[in-house]
Amino acid sequence: MQIILSEWKRSWKSLLVWSAAFALLIMGGMGKYAAGVGSPEQSIEELMGAMPESMQRLFGVGYFDLNSPVGYFAVLYMYLTLFLAVHAVFTAINAVGKEERDHTAEFLMTRPVSRSYVLACKLFISFVQIVVLFVVTIAISILALSQYSEQLNMNQLILLFAGIFGVQLAFMSLGIFIAAINGRYKVSSMAATSCILTMFVFSALGNLFEKAEFLRFFSFFGYFESRILLSHDYPNIFIALAAILSCVMIFLSFRFYGRRDLYFP
């Protein structure tokens, strides 16, 4: 419990900053929707339709009713999942690698607790943080959307929020895994950044080119795309893959973290 409380004291300020940033991101994004709806010249659908076909596929034009708040939010969803993925993976890396980065690992590891217990505490506090940010995202999103429509399609919103949480859990597991197998904080950070960018590019390429659709299987973003979530034939294999990969990464994290040497630069 002391480890959990200590981790929370170190992380609540950054969580507050992330929450404020996400509130601004969502409100700003929906503010653009309000500006588009209020335009007497063109609707949002027409504005997006003027983009090149490749960009339309990337943003999901044709899949959503962009003149509705929820349809526009489904486009904004892509940016939300990207930033939430960054938060989830680096929250996990910071939790696991903080002591080795700050050269205080010997103080933590000399406590009469196992490494597995230490990692479990760090995993728990990382999970708490992504849940808090998830709840903030839901609250701000519903608040922003309700400004433009009295009757929201809650079924679609629930699916989108479920996708957001799925992305968070998958990338948190990835962050825990990367930090557990490598004690060098800078290396872990660079590896995590590379993974996020690669998966985002794979997801984008899968949308842009039909021949590249297989790349979605190598991207957590591809498992939880808004247009797939809101379709009537969502492939359950994506949920299964995300769950299996997350569990495997968590399992391997405990295996490697309990065996590897601590890093002292």
Q: What is the pLDDT of residues 85-111, one digit of tens each?
A: 999 999 999 988 776 666 555 555 666
Per-residue pLDDT band for 265 (boundaries 50, 70, 90) equals: low
List 64's β-bridge partners, or say none. Answer: 61
What pLDDT is attached to residue 28? 87
Most confident stretch, 24-28, 36-40, 114-118, 164-168 = 164-168
SS3 61: strand
* Mean pLDDT (whole number) for 29-44: 63
The total of structural domains in the chain comes to: 1
* Structural domain contains residue 265: no
* Structural domain contains residue 107: yes
Distance CA 132, CA 255 (A): 28
* Mean pLDDT (whole number) for 12-33: 89
**What pLDDT, in 10s, does the model give residues 177-229?**
999 888 788 888 999 999 999 999 999 888 888 888 889 899 999 999 888 88
pLDDT of residue 112 exceeding 70, the answer is no
Beta strand residue intervals within the chain, DSSP E: none
DSSP 7: H
Domain range holding 39?
2-257
* Structural domain contains residue 235: yes
Per-residue pLDDT band for 37 (boundaries 50, 70, 90) equals: low
* Structural domain contains residue 247: yes
**What pLDDT, in 10s, does the model give residues 51-76?**
666 666 666 666 677 778 888 888 88
Per-residue pLDDT band for 33 (boundaries 50, 70, 90) equals: confident
What pLDDT is attached to residue 57? 65
The torsion of the CA quartet 90, 93, 94, 96, rounded to 10 degrees, works out to 160
* Mean pLDDT (whole number) for 5-20: 87
Nearest C-alpha neighbor of 241 from the set 220, 212, 214? 220
Q: What is the pTM of this model?
A: 0.88
pLDDT of residue 43 exceeding 60, the answer is no
The torsion of the CA quartet 172, 94, 255, 168, rounded to 10 degrees, works out to 0
Per-residue pLDDT band for 242 (boundaries 50, 70, 90) equals: very high
Cβ atoms of 70 and 145 closer than 8 Å = yes
What pLDDT is attached to residue 54? 61
What 169-172 contacts at long range (C-beta under 8 Å, 24+ apart), as own/partner pairs, is 169/88, 169/130, 169/242, 169/246, 170/220, 170/223, 170/242, 170/245, 170/246, 171/84, 171/85, 171/88, 171/89, 171/92, 171/196, 171/220, 172/88, 172/89, 172/91, 172/92, 172/126, 172/127, 172/130
What pLDDT is attached to residue 192? 94
* Structural domain contains residue 211: yes
Q: In this prediction, what percent of the chain has a pLDDT beyond 90?
A: 40
* Mean pLDDT (whole number) for 135-160: 88
* Structural domain contains residue 262: no
* Structural domain contains residue 264: no
With tokens 């399992």, the residue in question is 251
What pLDDT is attached to residue 207? 81
What pLDDT is attached to residue 40? 47
